[in-house]
Amino acid sequence: MPPDGFKCKQCGHCCLNLNAFATCASEDDVRRWEAAGRDDILAWVVPVALGNVVFAYDIWMDPETGEDIDRCPWLKKLPGTERYVCGIDDVKPDTCRDYPVSREHAERTGCPGFA
């Protein structure tokens, strides 16, 4: 949950520039998507393993090329505005749900949610 005083401006900044943010899913995220049958989301997830042990899940990796993408594939622009919404808000990753973790984090990453 974002810190007190934060109000999302729906500017899309955090989702339009994924290179500036950690884009990893938790094991809970992956289990939630598997339980919900969200193969559409799981197609964009790449397990990172050391030997046979998965220790992280990179997310928003292009399923066709395997490359990182710059913009979240689930970001939707509201017609006629400069505002954005999450297309998977009900099951979005914990890292997105918890963004930003502090005022300092928001300022460091260019988020205007405390302005």
User: For the chain, what are the domain ranges?
Assistant: 13-109
Whether 25 contacts 93, CB under 8 Å:
yes
Stated pTM of the model: 0.87
* CA distances (Å), origin 76, targets 37, 48, 64: 21, 28, 21
Q: How far is CA 87 from the centre of its chain?
A: 11
Q: Give pLDDT tens digits along the chain (115 positions).
A: 778 999 999 999 989 988 766 678 999 999 999 999 999 999 999 999 989 998 889 999 999 999 989 899 999 999 999 999 999 999 999 999 999 999 999 998 889 999 7
